[in-house]
Amino acid sequence: MSLRITAGPPSLPPTTTAAAAGCMTLFAMPFVAVGLFLIYQGGQQLVHGTGSSAVVMGISGLIFTGIAAGMIFGGVRARSSSAQLEARKAAAPGQPWLWRDDWASRRIQDTDRAQAGNLWGFALFWTLVSVPAAYFGVRQALQTGDKAPWVVLLFPAIGCVLIAAAIYATLRVRRYGRSVLELAAVPAPLGREITGTIRVSRGLDPAHGVQLELSCIRRVTSGSGKNRSTREEILWQDEQAIAGGSRQYDGVSIPVRMAIPAEAEPCDDSNALNRVLWRLVARVTTPGVDYAATFEVPVFRTAESALPPPEELVQRHRAEIAEYRLPADAPVRLTETGGGVIVEFPMGRNPGAALGLTLFVAIWGGVVVALFRLGAPWFFRVVFGGFGVLLLAIAAWLWLGRAALEAGGEGLRVTKGWGPFSRTRIFRADEVARIEPKVGMTAGSRAYYDLKVVFVDQSSIGAGSGLRDLHQAEWVAARVMEALGKPL
């Protein structure tokens, strides 16, 4: 179930941003002190001949000092950026797509280089925290014979995974360089299209097929201090596969032309803790390091959004639905009957997602068992164990959950259940207003779609889940509506 959060404080004014920059500098001072202290202690350990402890403390001290320098630099930069933003707002009031240089110039650079830097920063920070803790924990375990401190080795292992991800992201940047999205118009209005061209400077073979993904995302930041966390919720997503790009004198160009629904939410940066953003991702599977580029694009509600969509856009969308064919590995089976259709959502219809989550549940279960056997505090046992039970229930639904829709002149039958246990509900055709695709579960950056039956009285029920993209969900919904005598 999606969680929608709309309340929150307003965006920070310049004076607050300046204060935050000052607080960031003050917050960095303890890191400077700890870093210098660790470097000093490392030197003392080296003088006394304990080389291993000296290396650990010296490296930790350097990382602490580097993080402090980054905090101070980030605070100064944030203050400067805030002043520039206020100047752009004053020059173009009510036109937020002109408040960013890249949007205003219609040339948006991909964020992969910044993402690689962020991965390195987080990996180093994680290492800073986990390696010294693991070192002293293992030393305590060896001295006392207590098994509980061995649990801390899990955290350096996670750090190794983060470092591997940072290395892969860096190799991608080095191979393909920086990609640029050149938009045909700014902004892209709701209810219309986003059009443009992605320019790839090097390393990409234009013959490879390209997968484009356009998503509307809500990014929510909650908590404070060390408990601060950010999560993303996909509100809408569409995919498009194109044959490939074309070779140009300056690299490879990839055409972009994707429809945007009128009822979606526009970009909204008024609340920094509860943002709505639109993201365009281009992916190409190649030997070695795959190509991927991510762009944050300007999608807004304009005066054009209130007008009926152009007939050409409507006809093309209808043609896409009519021409769609279910792939052989589709998670649904559609059967024509004499007077309608039967759409079956079988058990285990998305084995990849189910298997991936099952393996994660198994690993998580091993961690929980280790926490109990090593005598970890009860708080950790309860929290980790409770989350494991929730993951196990979701994995069980992915393997055992099933549904079916039977539509015809007599009405609509909706069957849902677990394994052999199910419940069937029957509705008259004139009770059904429409069938809507709705984002359901997400796995990484991929959104799976559910179908929602909306009735004339505006009540609704879920009717099938796990469809792998919007086109698939729209096609199934259209076929069911046609069988009910209500063409899309």
Return averaged pLDDT per consecutive 10 residues of the chain, 488 residues in all. Answer: 34 47 66 72 70 68 73 68 75 88 93 84 79 72 68 78 90 91 95 95 86 95 73 93 82 92 92 92 91 95 91 90 90 90 95 92 88 80 91 94 92 93 93 93 88 94 92 94 85
pLDDT of residue 110: 93
pLDDT of residue 13: 42
pLDDT of residue 10: 38
Distance of CA 208 to the CA centre of its chain: 25
pLDDT of residue 14: 43
pLDDT of residue 409: 83
- Between CA 126 and CA 133, with CA 129 as vertex, the angle to 5 degrees is 130
| Torsion 42-43-47-48 (CA) sign | negative
Distance of CA 386 to the CA centre of its chain: 24
Closest CA to 472 of 278, 320, 244: 320
Identity (one letter) of the amino acid at 411? G
Positions of E strands within 90-131: 107-109
pTM for the whole thing? 0.77
pLDDT of residue 189: 95
Residue 54 CA to residue 40 CA, distance in Å, equals 9
Residue 293 CA to residue 109 CA, distance in Å, equals 9
pLDDT of residue 5: 32
